[in-house]
């Protein structure tokens, strides 16, 4: 029986990657993003396809986004509140109703045992087949975009959590004693990368992705001119839209 990604992505993906429901695997994806809006920009079209295909999706937003404004008069709490509401509305545009915020201070995310432990716990609890996150490697993406240090830290610590911490019970054994069991993530998909090896056709969900971005009112001032430029940038030809990723199959 064909299930999961193969159904929606066709021959781009091999049958062996379908979640094996009989073996306790589920159509479940965890999206770990540094800031409110990153998931929608990086993977919104793909996530909309997955949710339409019955996947259970959770967004885990690591920082509070509190520095995402030019309005110096706005208080810290006001900005955090606005950005959380925007992220919840935005996620709903791509079919995601499960959004968790870890609340680390925006712009101040560093590798730490505390961050590693929380990511390990979140992944062990949700038990995703696929994890989507930032590619931690590029400081500069395509020689065009400076990759925010929060993005790099989020991707780096997510990968460190996936291998081998979440798999092996001796890492953070307190989880095991609370009934939070080890887990294996099968597929890791990274956005914001210089090493694209996997593209998803999001033509059918491009409108959902644009709606999701528009929902971040405090971040983007979308005029119709800007929207058509974005659409043009994403469109390769003949109104075909794609999201580009670095994809790793985790066999161990
Ligand atoms: Zn960001």
Per-residue pLDDT tens digits for 22-63? 777 789 999 999 999 999 999 999 999 999 999 999 999 999
Q: Tell me, in angstroms, the distance from the centre of ligand 1 to residue 136's CA.
A: 12
The domains found in the chain, sorted by start residue, are 5-249 (3.40.50.10320)
Residue 134 backbone dihedrals phi, psi, to 5 degrees: -70, 145
- Residue 34 CA to ligand 1 center (angstroms) comes to 6
The tens-digit pLDDT sequence of the chain (252 residues) is 334 444 444 434 433 457 877 777 789 999 999 999 999 999 999 999 999 999 999 999 999 999 988 888 889 999 999 999 999 999 999 999 999 999 999 999 999 999 999 999 999 999 999 999 999 999 999 999 999 999 999 999 999 999 999 999 999 999 999 999 999 999 999 999 999 999 999 999 999 999 999 999 888 877 777 777 777 777 766 778 899 999 999 986
pLDDT tens digits along 137-147: 999 999 999 99
- Give distance in angstroms: CA of 38 to centre of ligand 1: 5
**Composition of the chain by helix, strand, coil, percent to 5:** 40, 20, 40
CB count, 10 Å around CB of 218? 18
| Global pTM value | 0.90
Q: What are phi and psi of 67, to 5 degrees?
A: -100, 5
Ion ligand 1 — residues with CB under 5 Å?
34-35, 38
Task: Say how far residue 149 (Cα) sits from the centre of its chain.
Answer: 16
């Amino acid at each position: 029986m064909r299930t999961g990604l193969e159904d929606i992505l066709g021959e781009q993906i091999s049958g062996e990657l379908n979640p094996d429901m009989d073996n306790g695997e589920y159509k479940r994806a965890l999206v770990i993003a540094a800031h409110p809006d990153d998931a929608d920009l990086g993977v919104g079209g793909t996530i909309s396809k997955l949710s339409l295909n019955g996947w259970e999706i959770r967004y885990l937003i690591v920082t509070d986004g509190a520095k995402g404004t030019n309005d110096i008069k706005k208080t810290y709490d006001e900005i955090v509140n606005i950005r959380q509401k925007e992220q919840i509305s935005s996620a709903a545009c791509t079919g995601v109703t499960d959004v968790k915020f870890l609340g680390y201070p925006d712009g101040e995310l560093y590798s730490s045992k505390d961050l590693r432990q929380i990511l390990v716990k979140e992944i062990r609890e949700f038990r995703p087949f696929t994890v989507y996150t930032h590619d931690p490697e590029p400081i500069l993406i395509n020689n065009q975009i400076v990759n925010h240090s929060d993005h790099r830290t989020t991707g780096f610590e997510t990968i460190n959590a996936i291998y081998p911490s979440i798999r092996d019970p001796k890492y953070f054994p307190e989880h095991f004693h609370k009934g939070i069991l080890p887990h294996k993530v099968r597929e890791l998909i990274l956005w914001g990368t210089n090493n694209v090896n996997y593209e998803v056709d999001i033509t059918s969900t491009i409108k959902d992705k644009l709606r999701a971005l528009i929902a971040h009112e405090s971040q983007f001032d979308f005029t119709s001119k800007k929207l058509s430029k974005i659409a043009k940038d994403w469109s390769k030809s003949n109104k075909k839209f794609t999201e580009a990723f670095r994809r790793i199959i985790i066999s161990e």
